[in-house]
Chains A and B, each alone.
Chain A
Amino acid sequence: MIARGWPVRRQRPHLEVAVLADGRELGAAMLRRLVIGQCLVLALHLPWMPIWLVALALGVAAWRYFQLRQRLPPAGRLVRLGGVAVLLGALWLQYGAMHEMDGLIGLLLGVYLLKLLETHDRRGARVVVVIGIIATGVAFLHDQGIAMALGALVALAWLLQSLNWLAGAPDARRAWAETGWLLLYSAPLMVLLFLVVPRLGPLWSMPQMDRASTGLSDEVSPGDIAQLSRSDARVFRAAFDGEEPATHERYWRVYTLSGTDGQRWFRAPPDELAATLGRSEDAFVREGRRSPWVDEAAGEGRFRAELLLEPDSRPWLPSLGTPLATDSEQRYLADGTLERLAAQGSRSLLRLESSGAAPANADTAGDAWNTLLPNRANPRTRALGERLWQESGGDKHAFLVAVMAQFGESPFRYTLMPPRLNSRHRVDEFLFESRAGYCTHYASAAATLIRVAGIPARLVVGFLGGERHPDGYFTIRDYDAHAWVEVWLDGAWQRLDPTAAIAPERIELGPQAVEGSAEAFLADSPFSSLRLRELGWANRLRLRWENLEYQWQRGVIGYQREAARSFMQRLGERLEAGYGWFMAHLRSAPWKAMAWLGGTALGLAGLTWLLCQGLRQRRWRSESAMLGYLQDRLVRLGLGPVSGETPAGHLRRVAPACGPAGEALRTVAEEYEQLAYAPLNEVERSAGRRRLRQAIKGIRRHLTKRRYRAHRTGAAGDDVAS
């Protein structure tokens, strides 16, 4: 080779190094395991993270591959720093700022991938695995669904398996078997800790995920494109305890929009209201578990619901009608809506008691605020409103009927794809020109008309409807978003839904039922499983999966502070009840109670015994196992074998020292040799094993430690005497 003039290449490194001394180079097999682990962890993140991370992973893996084959040098400091610089640059291009959650996760993943470049020994490999476990935990920020949990379990198993290799696994079978046992044995511990450990509130604020894609906006203007109806993203799920609302009652209130500039309607949050009206914020919002705006004497709310809310970076909360009480501290607004204390980064559970109707309390902002209209906007609408008010002769009810009749009579139509409105007088443009629109158009027009007459009115945005699952809970999605009007009438707010006049099927059946809206409905979700509604079996499958997911979210993900506390409380009550029941029986029928207790104890003991027997059976399975067991006992008596001695030879040698058991030891030696070396058929073999088993059990009786000692001291005494 050298004579031919080829450059002398160093020997290719040993590729399958299972056991590593510290400081030794990692073999290719171990690196491969680390890379696969990285890929699994990365796969958990990929649906949410930029795809170029895959390129980074491949690049790093390729470098290590060629380095092991001596075609590349080990990555020097320059290469590693370059890698970090590229990572930071790419993240900056992707996210702009690094303090966002997505950027931080990207940084973590990038460092995790790049770390492989400088992983040369066992310690480095362990660091890579630990970062992998952290990255697996961070993946739960994206999603906590069943699929994610299963994926994380696979990744965790792989990472543990690589740790087993690093701890010196001799082969894959042992590495995986040990991983399996570890996971199996620790799973009950995990479940126990999960249930028992009390949950704390957040200790300090962390950067939150920006997930504002769902939900409502707190200002609407007729004529903008209806985004929400195009998405099937889930907003929340609700399960009712007791009465369920009928289809036309499912008005989930989220925001009230009481300010308008003639083009759009916007929300006036408590702090802005307080600043505008020169009053303290306390007049508009209060924190607590019960609504301070509703009389306590009003009694319980009509509906009790458990809401499972998707994460959102804004603090809004839906309520069916007016919120009355919640199971945790929330902000109760004077307009009868509810807010969280802080944004919720992950799914959460909320128990809510609500009235199902518009609030009965007056808005603390006052009637003047709720009748405010810009003077110069929408002159034709103003004129129409004034005409209707005069025609009704000052009767508010008649006036409202007339307003609603407007939408019924004129050639208005309901569509999710209305023509775009862009004039200054939006309401005029809608009412007198386009006359096509959806809930927002009708609601804002109606509210404007009503305010013209000096009647307090406001827009309410929220959700209407929701899909009822066979198991009895509702899923409310983005496309269920709706807007309607509330009017102050007869000392209470009254719900008025102009959409009902133009498209009653929207109220009863949902947005997809509205004729001619099919093209816009779910326009942004071409692959949505909701498109399979028509297919019977597929729909059943979809419902079943959604149900499973719901139970998972509710039971596992929702197991937070309140749920954990109530679970522990219920458990305590159960135990207490059981104890009370037992004590009562002890007093009334002591014999029965004692018998019950004794029976339970006996049952448990029996179960334990059976379990031990099952474990013990193994030692009687083969003659070598039996002999190993016997020799083990002899070792404990200090009669162990010497090296180079056959088992039978060992037994024969120690037989004289064992007194009465000696003869049996010789028998065992004989039987064992027969079994081991004689050509026996299966019947003879099993008979031989039986004899061997019996002989060993006999020896075990004779050869307890005590008896052996007694025998020895007796023999020693004889020696002295002679």
Chain B
Amino acid sequence: MTTVRAGPSGAAAGEAGKREAGKREAGKRRSLRDWLGRRLTIAPGEPLPQRRLFLLPTRFGLAWIALVVVLLLFGVNYQNSLAYALAFWLAGLAVVVLVRAWRNLLGVAVELQLPREAFAGREARLRVGLRAVRSRTAIALVLDAHETTLPCLETEATASLPWRPGQRGWQLPPTLRLETRWPLGLVRAVAWVQPTDGLLVYPAPLEAAGAEHRQLGAGLDATDFAGLRRFERGDSATRVAWKQWSRSGILTTKVFSVPPRQQLWLDYANCRGSPERRLSLLCARVLAHHRAGDRYGLRLPGRELPRGEGERQRRAALEALALFQADSTGGSDQ
């Protein structure tokens, strides 16, 4: 829903189209797998309807029923009207709590904002936005056993939840559970939100490889003295050649040059190990070379990414790695 809204332009158009197709594909696979889940869940964006909202007693709720029974027996055996009244009041409270808890969750709309990028096995932050017309209290968001509680929700609130995608490729975030035990904690109102949009997860970058290539990035700062030029307004005072000024009276600025960038190919065939390890290694190198500002190309079996640099090159390389099919011998991925 909230991923890339701005229409892709020019060369990126075809690529973006593929992305959309991949997203849909991933969504379809998942939803076929658990059709029951589809029966129970809602999609992000729509307000929670009442038939997707479930009320379950908590353990404390069951204890509450026992408490009512105990007080009722107490009232019966002692013929004590006020004990009766207390038991009935607690029973009435339990009924009212059902409605209040249900009402606390009804009509809440959930927006999922996928992380900009995610690496397999690494923690990514999934941003969840809640919207509601009435104010709500203590709504918990649960994603893969990780729970975050929003203490109160006036009209809008956001929370971010950690998500560790397991594999590379198109991945759907896991089902998000919304639940509230407000008030009193006797019942749990639960709703499940099934994300509809998948996210292209990049391979896990190999830690060791990243460290090995970090030195390639050394010299990224402009440190080599290249000469002087005439001072222009806005030049940093630290870069002004004060010595020359005192000698000549002309304000000049020192100029430093950036070390030459590397131009290189990252080749799947040159790496060793299992295919996933090779992809991890390549991923780490792509990240390292991007940081170093190098021009790099990527050669995968059946796919070659011409040399380039910058954000777009990084994304293209990572996507190629994410979508690479290890057993494909060539041409199939094109």
**A, B bound:** yes
Measured between alpha carbons, how far is A181 from B70 in the docked complex, in Å?
25
Q: For A182, give its contact among B67, B75, B93, B113 (CB under 8 Å).
A: B93
Taking the closest CB of chain B, its distance from the CB of A244, in whole angstroms, is 27
Q: What chain B residues lie within 8 Å of A632 (beta carbons)?
A: 47, 107, 133
Whether B149 contacts A19 by the Cβ 8 Å rule is yes
Known: A160-B184, A166-B185, A202-B78. Is A178-B92 also a contact (CB below 8 A)?
Answer: no
Q: What chain A residues lie within 8 Å of B77 (beta carbons)?
A: 202-206
Q: For A189, give its contact among B75, B81, B91 (CB under 8 Å).
A: B91
Whether B151 contacts A189 by the Cβ 8 Å rule is no
Q: Mark A632-650, 1 if CB is under 8 A from B, else 0.
A: 1001101010110000000
Taking the closest CB of chain A, its distance from the CB of B232, in whole angstroms, is 38
Q: For A170, give its contact among B85, B93, B96, B137 (CB under 8 Å).
A: B137
A352 at the interface (CB under 8 A from B): no
B109 at the interface (CB under 8 A from A): yes
Taking the closest CB of chain B, its distance from the CB of A87, in whole angstroms, is 22
B296 at the interface (CB under 8 A from A): no
Q: Mark B74-104, 1 if CB is under 8 A from A, else 0.
A: 1111111111111111111101110110000
Q: Mark B256-287, 1 if CB is under 8 A from A, else 0.
A: 00000000000000000000000000000000
Taking the closest CB of chain B, its distance from the CB of A381, in whole angstroms, is 47
Whether B88 contacts A193 by the Cβ 8 Å rule is yes
Whether A140 contacts B137 by the Cβ 8 Å rule is no
Measured between alpha carbons, how far is A206 from B84 in the docked complex, in Å?
16
Known: A556-B81, A642-B2, A642-B5. Is A168-B137 also a contact (CB below 8 A)?
Answer: yes
Whether A140 contacts B82 by the Cβ 8 Å rule is yes
Known: A168-B149, A202-B76, A346-B78. Is A163-B138 also a contact (CB below 8 A)?
Answer: no
Taking the closest CB of chain B, its distance from the CB of A621, in whole angstroms, is 13
Q: Mark A363-392, 1 if CB is under 8 A from B, else 0.
A: 000000000000000000000000000000
Whether B138 contacts A169 by the Cβ 8 Å rule is yes
Q: What chain B residues lie within 8 Å of A182 (beta carbons)?
A: 93, 96-97, 100, 183-184
Q: What chain B residues lie within 8 Å of A181 (beta carbons)?
A: 100
Q: For B79, give its contact among A148, A168, A348, A628 (CB under 8 Å).
A: A348
A559 at the interface (CB under 8 A from B): yes
Measured between alpha carbons, how far is A643 from B158 in the docked complex, in Å?
11
Q: Mark A160-187, 1 if CB is under 8 A from B, else 0.
A: 1001101111110010001101110111
Q: For B182, give its contact among A168, A188, A642 (CB under 8 Å).
A: A168
Q: For A628, give its contact among B71, B84, B155 (CB under 8 Å).
A: B155
Looking across the interface, which residue of chain B has its beta carbon closest to that of A184?
B96
Q: What chain B residues lie within 8 Å of A149 (beta carbons)?
A: 82
Measured between alpha carbons, how far is A556 from B184 in the docked complex, in Å?
28
Whether B96 contacts A186 by the Cβ 8 Å rule is yes
B197 at the interface (CB under 8 A from A): no
Q: For B86, give its contact among A19, A137, A629 (CB under 8 Å).
A: A137
Which listed segment binds B: A51-59, A128-136, A466-474? A128-136
Taking the closest CB of chain B, its distance from the CB of A144, in whole angstroms, is 5
Whether B138 contacts A168 by the Cβ 8 Å rule is yes
Q: For A643, give its contact among B64, B90, B111 (CB under 8 Å).
A: B111
Q: Which residues, 254 to 306 on A, are CB-close (under 8 Å) to B? A: none
Whether B82 contacts A557 by the Cβ 8 Å rule is yes
A141 at the interface (CB under 8 A from B): yes
Q: Which residues, 311 to 365 on A, are CB-close (under 8 Å) to B? A: 344-346, 348
Measured between alpha carbons, how far is A559 from B111 in the docked complex, in Å?
54
B152 at the interface (CB under 8 A from A): yes
Whether A635 contacts B138 by the Cβ 8 Å rule is no
Whether A148 contacts B82 by the Cβ 8 Å rule is yes
Whether B46 contacts A137 by the Cβ 8 Å rule is no
Whether B81 contacts A144 by the Cβ 8 Å rule is yes
Whether B91 contacts A193 by the Cβ 8 Å rule is yes
Query: What's the interface size class on B, roughly?
Result: 35 or more
B217 at the interface (CB under 8 A from A): no
Q: Which residues, 617 to 632 on A, are CB-close (under 8 Å) to B? A: 628-629, 632
Measured between alpha carbons, how far is A445 from B84 in the docked complex, in Å?
50
Known: A182-B97, A190-B85, A628-B155. Is A174-B80 also a contact (CB below 8 A)?
Answer: no
Whether B96 contacts A194 by the Cβ 8 Å rule is no
Q: For B183, give its contact among A178, A194, A642 (CB under 8 Å).
A: A178
Taking the closest CB of chain A, its distance from the CB of B81, in whole angstroms, is 5
B60 at the interface (CB under 8 A from A): yes
Whether A200 contacts B76 by the Cβ 8 Å rule is yes
Whether A640 contacts B88 by the Cβ 8 Å rule is no
A18 at the interface (CB under 8 A from B): yes
Known: A21-B147, A148-B82. Is A628-B137 also a contact (CB below 8 A)?
Answer: no
Measured between alpha carbons, how far is A164 from B99 in the docked complex, in Å?
15
Known: A170-B151, A628-B133. Is A186-B70 also a contact (CB below 8 A)?
Answer: no
Known: A18-B151, A19-B151, A168-B151. Is A557-B97 also a contact (CB below 8 A)?
Answer: no
Measured between alpha carbons, how far is A190 from B184 in the docked complex, in Å?
18
Q: What chain A residues lie within 8 Å of B91 (beta carbons)?
A: 189-190, 193
Whether B78 contacts A160 by the Cβ 8 Å rule is no
Whether B92 contacts A203 by the Cβ 8 Å rule is no
Taking the closest CB of chain B, its distance from the CB of A261, in whole angstroms, is 39
Q: Mark A549-583, 1 if CB is under 8 A from B, else 0.
A: 00000001111100000000000000000000000
Whether A558 contacts B81 by the Cβ 8 Å rule is yes
Q: Mark A29-60, 1 if CB is under 8 A from B, else 0.
A: 00000000000000000000000000000000
Q: For B185, give its contact among A126, A136, A190 (CB under 8 Å).
A: A126
Q: What chain B residues lie within 8 Å of A194 (beta carbons)?
A: 81, 84-85, 88
Q: What chain B residues lie within 8 Å of A133 (beta carbons)?
A: 67, 71, 86, 90
Whether A167 contacts B181 by the Cβ 8 Å rule is yes
B26 at the interface (CB under 8 A from A): no
Known: A134-B67, A140-B82, A189-B88. Is A635-B47 also a contact (CB below 8 A)?
Answer: yes
Q: What chain A residues lie within 8 Å of B95 (beta carbons)?
A: 186, 189
Taking the closest CB of chain A, its distance from the CB of B142, in whole angstroms, is 11
Known: A167-B138, A632-B47. Is A137-B83 also a contact (CB below 8 A)?
Answer: yes
Q: For B71, give its contact among A134, A558, A636 (CB under 8 Å).
A: A134
Q: What chain A residues lie within 8 Å of B162 (beta carbons)?
A: none
Known: A168-B149, A185-B96. Is A141-B78 also a contact (CB below 8 A)?
Answer: yes
Taking the closest CB of chain B, its distance from the CB of A638, in whole angstroms, is 8
Measured between alpha carbons, how far is A299 from B270 in the docked complex, in Å?
118
Taking the closest CB of chain B, its distance from the CB of A140, in whole angstroms, is 4
Measured between alpha carbons, how far is A134 from B151 in the docked complex, in Å?
30
Whether A160 contacts B93 by the Cβ 8 Å rule is yes
Of A163, A167, A186, A635, which is in contact with the most chain B CB atoms at under 10 Å from its CB? Answer: A167
Whether B185 contacts A134 by the Cβ 8 Å rule is no
Measured between alpha carbons, how far is A557 from B81 in the docked complex, in Å?
5
Known: A167-B138, A167-B183. Is A643-B129 also a contact (CB below 8 A)?
Answer: yes
A residues engaging B (CB < 8 A)? 18-19, 21, 126, 130, 133-134, 136-138, 140-141, 144, 148-149, 152, 156, 160, 163-164, 166-171, 174, 178-179, 181-183, 185-190, 193-194, 197, 199-206, 344-346, 348, 556-560, 628-629, 632, 635-636, 638, 640, 642-643
Listed A/B pairs (28) with beta-carbon separation below 8 Å: A18-B151, A21-B149, A137-B87, A140-B80, A140-B83, A141-B78, A141-B80, A156-B86, A167-B182, A168-B151, A170-B151, A182-B96, A182-B97, A183-B89, A183-B93, A188-B92, A197-B88, A199-B79, A199-B84, A206-B77, A345-B78, A346-B80, A556-B81, A557-B81, A559-B81, A560-B81, A636-B47, A640-B109
Give me 15 other A-B pairs in contact (C-beta within 8 A), A126-B63, A197-B88, A635-B45 excluded. A21-B149, A144-B80, A144-B82, A152-B86, A163-B184, A167-B183, A168-B181, A170-B152, A178-B100, A182-B183, A202-B76, A202-B78, A344-B79, A345-B79, A346-B78
Instruction: Return the 7 tightest CB-CB contacts between A and B, nearest first.
Output: A168-B138, A189-B92, A186-B92, A170-B151, A193-B88, A167-B185, A140-B82
